[in-house]
Structure 1
């Protein structure tokens, strides 16, 4: 079936849309075939999108989303429909656990906090929204790594250069892969003072209901002097219920 030709603006948006929803990085040839755009035109449009920061090339020369696309998604999530509903879910969970909770997404080799509700304790660890956290040293990061296809995970780990942030940070790639394998089995991840000394954390997946894959994580963290890691893990069932609510909200946004 021949695809109906659109305006140049529509074609640009279609390219960004296809790259954003793809389960793997796409080549210019892939995009040309999917969108029925001649290869010379596709290369020209891709060049413009790279120059403006909406797309970029990965290490294999494939097309992936750029910094401006990630920021656009962040702002749509923050200010879009169901923002108050999402905050209500987080507020209830924070009150139940008695600690800070939030939502994070993957941004290249970092984790970005995009939503957060603070605990009411005077003593708390301030990790502001928009902050980038190393993927190998956080519960959310390891959980997002665990959701990657094996081939993609291997490429990421090969190009990763983990360094120690605390005495508990996992810096050996073999140990990191073993940890990720365990996370895949159990369906959640923990941070045992691996990112910040004296902080423990847990994370559970938020699933895209249409595609059955993780698109974000729901996390909680606490000073270890107030809650041990095992005490925090006791709230994982409640976190999973809240993550299901957030997943349903996501489906309504579509």
Structure 2
């Protein structure tokens, strides 16, 4: 890296965000600077500025920072509007054609999972969850896929603080039952929604990761129980996982 006195101020801010974005754990300003070698006061000042403007946030009352709403929205916007958007759409279209149902590209946010992209099925009877829809973590395939990807301590802390709103008679309403299922999701490599979010809808999701194995999004397939079964969903796992692999290569190979 260039000498710290030759790094422009605006680039220093980006480097701080880059370090924090690469980490799977919240970091103090001192820990961030261990990778940058900038003047201590500069890093602390820039972290405070980023916090005040909603790009990063403190973990509780600690001195550790984690990414916050505006940085997540920035990342989501880059994914949506980049030149790779066309390639992503084509991969999702190919997958939707192969499985014959709606497929979704779903990203985690503070309060749940957001549908960033989707390709609808050609069936006249379908369940519509438009782009931009926000859904809970605890009762959706994509949400459970994300939760299962977290390190054990972070997963436990997040699950313990979820609002276990009962959406249907199948919804998890306790941290204990959800944690038990998440352990299975990690082993299987995919997650299921067994009419937990909407009566009459089932879904399956797999993780899409970056080149370092970090969760970026869920690739999900859903449809009505009148046409789909859990067994039929599971039979499509290989196709969905292959699409997730192709997407990761498109987004992170360069």
Aligned 1:55-134 pairs, distance under 5 A: 55-59=56-60, 61=62, 62-134=64-136
| TM-score of the two chains, using structure 1 as the length reference | 0.93
Distance 2:127 2:102 in 1: 9
In the other structure, the counterpart of 1:140 is 142
In the other structure, the counterpart of 2:21 is 20
Distance 1:169 1:3 in 2: 54
User: Gaps (5+ residues) in structure 1?
Assistant: none
Greater Cα offset, 193-202 or 40-49: 40-49
Partner-residue secondary structure (3-state), 1:136: coil
| TM-score of the two chains, using structure 2 as the length reference | 0.93
Distance apart, 1:58 and its partner CA: 2.2
Contact 2:69 2:110 in 1 (8 A): no
Distance 1:200 1:136 in 2: 14
Distance 1:2 1:85 in 2: 35
Distance 2:234 2:84 in 1: 28
Distance 1:231 1:162 in 2: 28
In structure 2, relative to structure 1, the CA distance for the partners of 1:197 and 1:28 (3 Å cut) is same
Contact 1:94 1:117 in 2 (8 A): yes
The answer on 1:214 being equivalent to 2:211 is: no
The answer on 1:40 being equivalent to 2:41 is: yes
- Structure 1 residue ranges (4+ consecutive) displaced by more than 6 angstroms after TM superposition: none
Partner-residue secondary structure (3-state), 1:197: coil
Distance apart, 1:3 and its partner CA: 4.4
User: Gaps (5+ residues) in structure 2?
Assistant: none
Partner-residue secondary structure (3-state), 1:30: helix
Distance apart, 1:51 and its partner CA: 2.0
In the other structure, the counterpart of 2:251 is 250
Partner-residue secondary structure (3-state), 1:121: coil
The RMSD of aligned alpha carbons is 1.7
Contact 2:193 2:203 in 1 (8 A): yes
The answer on 1:204 being equivalent to 2:206 is: yes
In structure 2, relative to structure 1, the CA distance for the partners of 1:27 and 1:99 (3 Å cut) is same
Distance 1:12 1:2 in 2: 15
Contact 2:4 2:38 in 1 (8 A): no
Distance 2:248 2:53 in 1: 32
